């Protein structure tokens, strides 16, 4: 699995599977903010994470004393790509915890995901589902546009990759 790491101020984004904190992801899934998901039992959560390309967002301490006994920086955001890592990718479970929102982290996260996609020469298509109100504008930043509008206030967005042989 490809591993990337990006740094910005006191934050890090990483695709290292070892850094992902399943409890943090599950707590987010259980919260109202991640309205499309529910928490799940550890064995299913572990399987889901291990079979996805996961991007974790971590808040780095300004000094080692801030870690307060933790060996790892807290995970405050996430994006999950369901993929063969060559031709197709479905992006989901994108979030930044509320106390860290509004600092550009969400935009940076999808930029990092996009950078990963740009390095796949045979990528045909990226897809995701987003709400029409804010989601469409948010994902337009990574070149996603509407493929099909549903009747429930959501749309399927997509973009082609370098490996696509389709005209659109």
Ligand X SMILES: CC(C)(COP(=O)(O)OP(=O)(O)OC[C@H]1O[C@@H](n2cnc3c(N)ncnc32)[C@H](O)[C@@H]1OP(=O)(O)O)[C@@H](O)C(=O)NCCC(=O)NCCS
Among candidates 112, 166, 168, 120, which has minimal Cα distance to 142? 112
Torsion of Cα atoms, 77 then 6 then 125 then 91, to 10°: -10
User: What minimum distance in Å lies between the beta carbon of 94 and ligand X?
Assistant: 5
> What residues are paired with 82 via a beta bridge?
90
Tally of CA atoms within 13 A in the half-sphere of 69 that contains its CB: 0
- The single-letter DSSP state of residue 19 is G
Residue 87 or 136: which CB sits closer to ligand X? 136
The DSSP H or E segment spanning 111 is helix 105-118
Distance separating alpha carbons of residues 47 and 40, to the nearest angstrom: 11
Q: Closest approach of Cβ 103 to ligand X, in Å?
A: 5
Q: Which is nearer to ligand X, 37 or 164 (CB)?
A: 37
Dihedral (CA of 131, 133, 135, 140) sign:
positive
Q: Nearest residue to ligand X, using CB?
A: 106
In angstroms, what is the minimal distance from the CB of 77 to ligand X?
7
Residue 87 or 92 having the CB closest to ligand X: 92
Q: Minimal distance in Å, beta carbon 43 to ligand X? A: 25
Which residues fall within 8 angstroms of residue 7, CB to CB, at 6 or more apart?
Answer: 60
**Shortest gap between Cβ of 38 and ligand X (angstroms)?**
14
Nearer to ligand X, 49 or 109 (CB): 109
By CB under 6 A, name the binding residues for ligand X.
33-34, 94-96, 101-107, 130, 134-135, 138
103 versus 162: smaller Cβ distance to ligand X: 103
What are phi and psi for residue 25, nearest 5 degrees? -65, -45
């Amino acid at each position: 699995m490809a591993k990337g790491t990006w740094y910005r101020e006191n934050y890090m984004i990483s695709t290292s599977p070892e850094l992902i904190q399943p409890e943090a992801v599950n707590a987010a899934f259980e919260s109202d903010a991640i309205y499309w998901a529910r928490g799940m039992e550890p064995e299913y959560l572990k399987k889901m994470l291990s079979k996805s390309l996961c991007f974790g967002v971590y808040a780095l301490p300004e000094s080692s004393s801030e870690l307060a006994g933790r060996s790892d920086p807290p995970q405050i955001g996430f994006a999950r790509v369901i993929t063969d890592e060559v031709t197709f990718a479905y992006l989901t479970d994108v979030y930044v915890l509320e106390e860290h929102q509004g600092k550009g982290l969400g935009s940076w996260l999808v930029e990092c995901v996009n950078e990963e996609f740009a390095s796949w020469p045979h990528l045909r298509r990226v897809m995701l589902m987003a709400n029409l109100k804010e989601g469409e504008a948010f994902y337009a930043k990574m070149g996603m546009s509407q493929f099909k509008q549903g009747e429930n206030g959501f749309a399927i967005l997509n973009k082609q990759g370098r490996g696509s042989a389709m005209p659109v």
